[in-house]
Amino acid sequence: MSLADCYEFISKSPEDTLNFGVRLGAHLRGGEIILLSGDLGAGKTLFTKGIASALEVDNMTPVISPSFTLVNIYKARLDIVHVDLYRLGPDDVWDLGLEDFMDKHHIIIVEWGNIARAFFNMPVIDVKIIYVEDQTRKILIKGMKLICMS
């Protein structure tokens, strides 16, 4: 199936969410900016772990939410810049130095990405994770064109 402008996936378990992140990560080529949104505990970091797995982050490197460090960088086939904006406001994003990583050698993944919308004045991949039931999530992806997710 080819993605036009929006893709929807129903995750029925944390493993599904992780595996869907792996599927998306396998299609990344460098330079992508992924803005994640969803409630606390929705699976944003788990989804990021899936992407990191696809990009071959060392198994010994823990992929954890940078809630307190704000930015974690993971060495991989394409280095991942993992950002958590939960405790920040929109103006604080400008002080993180993210523009230094906007190149074809990095993937930027931003949890609470809606806070950074004005900062990223360029094409981004929006991923919204929505609670449906206890273990079930609806994952909506917008902005990813011409990528086969089947």
Report if residue 150 sits inside a domain: no
Q: What is the pTM of this model?
A: 0.91
Report if residue 19 sits inside a domain: yes
Query: What's the pLDDT tens digit per position in 37-94?
Result: 999 999 999 999 999 999 999 888 999 999 889 999 999 999 999 999 999 999 999 9
Report if residue 117 sits inside a domain: yes
Report if residue 148 sits inside a domain: no
DSSP notation for the chain: -B-SSEEEEEE-SHHHHHHHHHHHHTT--SS-EEEEEESTTSSHHHHHHHHHHHTT--TTS-----TTTSEEEE-SSSEEEEEE-TT--GGGGGGS-GGGG-STTEEEEEETGGGGTTT--S--EEEEEEE-SSS-EEEEEES--S-B--
CATH number at residue 103: 3.40.50.300
Query: What's the pLDDT tens digit per position in 96-134?
Result: 999 999 999 999 999 999 999 889 988 999 999 999 999
- Domain span at residue 85 reads 6-142
Report if residue 149 sits inside a domain: no
The total domain count for the chain is 1
Phi, psi (deg, nearest 5) at residue 128? -115, 125
Closest by alpha carbon to 32, among 147, 129, 130, 148? Answer: 147
Report if residue 147 sits inside a domain: no
- Which structure tokens are listed for 122? 């360029």
Report if residue 121 sits inside a domain: yes
Report if residue 55 sits inside a domain: yes
